[in-house]
């Protein structure tokens, strides 16, 4: 009887371990490969292609105002979205005289790239887009990012401060914490187990794909980024709680935070369009070139 119990226990442990490894692998693949969203090119834009440093072709739309102020804004979408979503901000900036670039982030939309790397490669893509904008004659460079796009901009600012000012809406402070929090909230997985699974997915990504996702730390990067950053977060955000932006604000005293009542995840503009426009354009106008 003892031998049968021992065999049963060993078999059960092997099954649990195999299930955990499979679940971790599937979770990792799902986070590195997201469905691509495409949209028709707006009639007032032009198509732009840029080769990333690893050779991936990156796509963007370029908008130019009727009366230019000589400055430019890069707008970066969140995970699972595309430049079609980011293009919704273009009229606000065009009306104020800014030229606008809306890229498809790598592994999104029409851009190439094998994986979503949560900033490991995307931060360098952003710097290359900034260099392209300078080549078009842009005097001051600014940027607005939503969710993952906000996180990518924060990471890029820690590498090279090419933007005079940044607006970051609904950024998370730590990738591991954010992943565990979302898995716990939306999949009903107990938080300790969710954290173990996310850690396992990060180990899997490092082992199989060579991606060190554990090094993604917006909280660390914003603390040393010299670029002024306006953090925006909806108080009704259930995907990335506003406590993330509170942590990011405390990490660097030069930054500012606007908490938006009634706004959901990346929903500040929808909740308060007039105030959103005023705060963003004022933030850019108040921060001329410091690089």
CATH number of the domain at 247, please.
3.40.50.1820
Nearest-10 crossing angle of helices 175-187, 191-204 = 130
Compute the average pLDDT of residues 49-57.
96
Considering its fold, how many domains does the chain have in total? Answer: 2
Residues 6+ apart with CB under 8 A from 100: 62, 63, 72, 73, 74, 75, 89, 90, 93, 94
The domain in which residue 22 lies consists of 1-32+175-214
Q: Which of the listed residues 188, 214, 240 is the one where a domain comes to its end?
A: 214
- Alpha-helical segments (H) within the chain: 2-32, 83-86, 90-95, 122-135, 148-159, 175-187, 191-204, 218-224, 243-251, 268-271, 273-285
Asked whether residue 91 falls in the same domain as residue 187, the answer is no
Compute the average pLDDT of residues 215-232.
95
Is 257 contained in some domain? yes
Asked whether residue 9 falls in the same domain as residue 86, the answer is no
Task: Kindly tell me if the per-residue pLDDT of 291 is higher than 50.
Answer: no
Is 291 contained in some domain? no
19, 167, 207 from 16: Cα distances, Å: 5, 44, 21
Task: Kindly tell me if the per-residue pLDDT of 247 is higher than 50.
Answer: yes
Asked whether residue 26 falls in the same domain as residue 129, the answer is no
- pLDDT given at position 19: 40
Tokens, residue 89 = 């901000």
Under a CB-based contact definition with an 8 Å cutoff, are residues 36 and 108 in contact? yes
Higher-pLDDT residue of 243 and 12 is: 243
Strand 99-103 relative to strand 141-146, pairing: unpaired
- pLDDT given at position 1: 54
- pLDDT given at position 6: 55
Asked whether residue 162 falls in the same domain as residue 97, the answer is yes
Higher-pLDDT residue of 139 and 27 is: 139
Asked whether residue 139 falls in the same domain as residue 169, the answer is yes
Asked whether residue 94 falls in the same domain as residue 69, the answer is yes
What's the mean per-residue pLDDT of the chain? 87
Q: Is the pTM of this model over 0.85?
A: yes
The pLDDT tens digits for 161-211 are 999 999 999 999 998 888 887 777 756 667 677 777 777 777 877 777 787
């Amino acid at each position: 009887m003892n031998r049968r119990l021992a065999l049963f226990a060993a078999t059960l442990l092997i099954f649990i371990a195999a299930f955990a490894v499979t679940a971790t692998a599937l979770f990792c693949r799902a986070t590195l490969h997201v469905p691509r969203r495409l949209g028709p090119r707006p009639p007032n834009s032009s198509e732009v292609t840029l080769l990333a440093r690893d050779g991936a072709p990156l796509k963007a739309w370029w908008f130019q105002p009727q009366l230019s102020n000589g400055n430019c804004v890069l707008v970066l979408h969140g995970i699972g979205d595309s430049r079609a979503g980011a293009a919704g901000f273009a009229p606000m900036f065009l009306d104020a005289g800014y030229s606008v670039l809306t890229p498809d982030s790598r592994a999104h939309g029409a851009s190439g790239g094998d994986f979503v790397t949560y900033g490991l490669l995307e931060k360098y893509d952003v710097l290359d887009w900034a260099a392209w904008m300078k080549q078009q004659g842009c005097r001051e460079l600014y940027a607005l990012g939503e969710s993952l796009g906000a996180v990518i901009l924060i990471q890029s600012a820690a590498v090279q401060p090419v933007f005079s000012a940044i607006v970051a809406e609904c950024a998370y402070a730590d990738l591991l914490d954010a992943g565990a929090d979302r898995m716990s909230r939306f999949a009903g997985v107990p938080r300790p187990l969710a954290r173990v699974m996310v850690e396992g997915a990060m180990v899997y990504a490092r082992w199989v794909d060579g991606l060190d996702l554990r090094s993604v730390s917006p909280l660390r990067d914003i603390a040393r980024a010299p670029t002024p950053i306006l953090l925006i977060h909806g108080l009704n955000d259930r995907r990335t709680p506003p406590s993330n932006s509170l942590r990011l604000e405390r990490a660097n005293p030069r930054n500012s935070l606007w908490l938006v009542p009634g706004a959901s995840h990346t929903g500040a503009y929808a909740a308060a369009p007039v105030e959103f426009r005023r705060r963003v354009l004022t933030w850019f106008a108040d921060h001329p070139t410091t690089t």
